[in-house]
C-alpha cells in the first residue's frame, strides 16, 4: 500500500510539473486536415506548428456512447495519433460521417461583428475536441488534469462552436428568427397586457424546440457555455444563421444572443400576461438560466 501511495504522489507531481510547462496550452490539439491528434511539445509545438490558432467544439455525446457489444457494426470516427479507443456513438444521434463533417466546418474563421479585428481570411487547421484531446480510458490521471484546465483551453480558442445536433439548419434558422422577433415584442405586449394566447404559445413552442436539444441538459456543456457564452450555434449539419447588419457587418447567432431572448422573457415575468406565458418562464428558468 505504501508503494502505491508513493507512486501516486510521484505521478501527481509529474502531472503538476507538466501543467506548469503547458501554461495555458492544451495537452493535445487535433490537426483537422489530417485528422491527427498532436501532443504538446516544448515550445508549444503541435506537429510541426508552433502556437497554432485553434477553435473548439462543444457538444454532448456521453449518453449515447455505445458499449463494446452494442451495434458492433458501428464504426467510430477515425482519429490518428491517439493510444485510446475513440468512443462509438449511437448513429441515431449522429453518425461518424456527420461528426466528421461538423469537425471540418468547426475550423472556419467566422467573422463576428461583436469581435472586431478577427482575420476572416486566416486558415485554422487545429481544433480542440474532447474525444481527440483527452484520453478516454479514464484511468489516465492526465485526463482529470486536462478536464481541470478547461478555462484556459476555451478562453484561448479563437472561436467556439456549440453543436446542436438534434436541430436541422432549416428548423434552427426559422426558430431563431421567430424567437428574435417575438421576444423583442414581449416588453410592449406586457406593458399593454393584451398579448394574445397564440403569440405566447408560439414563443413557448419555438423556445422549446431550441432548449429541448440535448446540449442544454449536459453538465459538460453547462461548464463550456459558462466559459464561452459567445459560442456560435451550429445546426445538425454544422451551419449557422447569418444576419447582415445595416453596416454591412456579418452576425452569427451565439449562445449569448439566445440568453438575451430569454432575458426578455424573464423581464416580463411579473406582468399579468395570460398563460402559456407562465410555462415559457418556467422553461427558461429550467433549461437556459442555469447556463447563464
pLDDT band at 115 (very low <50, low <70, confident <90, very high): very low
Report the sign of the C-alpha dihedral through residues 245, 248, 252, 256, in that order: negative
Residue 275 has pLDDT above 90, yes or no: no
Residue 147 has pLDDT above 50, yes or no: yes
Share of the chain above pLDDT 70, in %: 82
Q: What are the start-end ranges of the E strands in 86-212?
A: 126-128, 160-163
**pTM greater than 0.75 (yes/no):** yes
Residue 55 contacts residue 153 (beta carbons within 8 Å): no
Residue 137 has pLDDT above 70, yes or no: yes
Q: What local confidence, expressed as pLDDT, does residue 261 receive?
A: 82
Which residue, among 186, 177, 172, has the nearest Cα to 280 in the 3D structure? 186
Give the C-alpha separation, 269 to 289, whole Å.
Answer: 14
Q: Count CB atoms within 10 A of the CB of residue 152.
A: 14
Cβ burial, residue 83 (10 Å; 0-12/13-18/19+) = exposed
Domain boundaries in the chain? 2-159, 169-291
Give the C-alpha separation, 75 to 167, whole Å.
Answer: 23
Q: Count CB atoms within 10 A of the CB of residue 179.
A: 23
Cβ burial, residue 91 (10 Å; 0-12/13-18/19+) = middle
pLDDT band at 141 (very low <50, low <70, confident <90, very high): confident
Give the C-alpha separation, 255 to 227, whole Å.
Answer: 11
Q: What would the grid cell of residue 230 be?
A: 459567445
Q: Helix, strand or coil for residue 78?
A: coil
Give the C-alpha separation, 255 to 225, whole Å.
Answer: 8
Pick the range with the lowest mean pLDDT from 47-56, 110-119, 153-162, 181-190.
110-119
CA 270 to each of CA 144, 264, 265, 278: distance values in angstroms, whole numbers, following the listed order: 44, 12, 10, 10
Q: What are phi and psi of 125, to 5 degrees?
A: -105, -10
Amino acid at each position: 500500500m505504501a508503494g502505491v501511495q508513493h507512486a501516486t504522489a510521484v505521478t501527481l507531481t509529474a502531472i503538476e510539473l507538466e501543467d506548469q510547462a503547458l501554461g495555458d496550452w492544451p495537452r493535445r490539439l487535433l490537426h483537422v486536415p489530417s485528422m491527427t491528434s498532436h501532443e504538446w511539445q516544448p515550445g508549444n509545438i503541435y506537429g510541426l506548428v508552433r502556437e497554432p490558432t485553434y477553435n473548439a467544439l462543444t457538444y454532448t455525446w456521453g449518453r449515447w456512447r455505445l458499449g463494446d457489444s452494442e451495434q458492433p457494426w458501428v464504426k467510430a470516427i477515425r482519429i490518428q495519433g491517439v493510444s485510446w479507443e475513440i468512443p462509438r456513438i449511437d448513429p441515431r444521434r449522429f453518425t461518424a460521417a456527420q461528426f466528421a463533417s461538423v469537425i471540418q466546418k468547426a475550423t472556419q474563421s467566422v467573422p463576428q461583428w461583436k469581435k472586431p479585428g478577427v482575420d476572416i481570411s486566416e486558415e485554422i487547421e487545429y481544433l480542440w475536441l474532447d474525444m481527440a484531446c483527452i484520453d478516454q480510458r479514464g484511468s489516465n490521471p492526465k485526463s482529470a488534469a486536462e478536464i481541470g484546465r478547461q478555462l484556459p483551453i476555451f478562453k484561448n480558442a479563437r472561436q467556439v462552436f456549440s453543436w446542436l445536433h438534434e436541430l436541422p439548419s432549416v428548423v434552427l434558422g426559422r426558430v431563431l428568427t421567430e424567437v428574435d422577433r417575438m421576444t423583442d415584442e414581449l416588453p410592449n405586449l406586457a406593458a399593454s397586457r393584451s398579448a394574445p394566447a397564440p403569440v405566447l404559445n408560439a414563443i413557448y413552442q419555438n423556445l422549446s424546440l431550441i432548449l429541448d436539444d440535448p446540449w442544454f441538459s449536459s453538465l459538460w456543456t453547462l461548464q463550456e457555455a459558462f466559459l464561452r457564452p459567445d459560442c456560435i450555434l451550429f445546426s445538425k449539419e454544422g451551419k449557422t444563421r447569418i444576419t447582415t447588419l445595416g453596416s454591412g457587418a456579418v452576425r452569427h447567432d451565439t449562445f449569448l444572443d439566445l440568453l438575451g431572448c430569454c432575458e426578455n422573457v424573464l423581464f416580463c415575468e411579473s406582468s399579468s400576461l395570460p398563460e402559456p406565458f407562465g410555462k415559457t418562464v418556467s422553461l427558461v428558468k429550467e433549461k437556459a438560466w442555469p447556463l447563464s
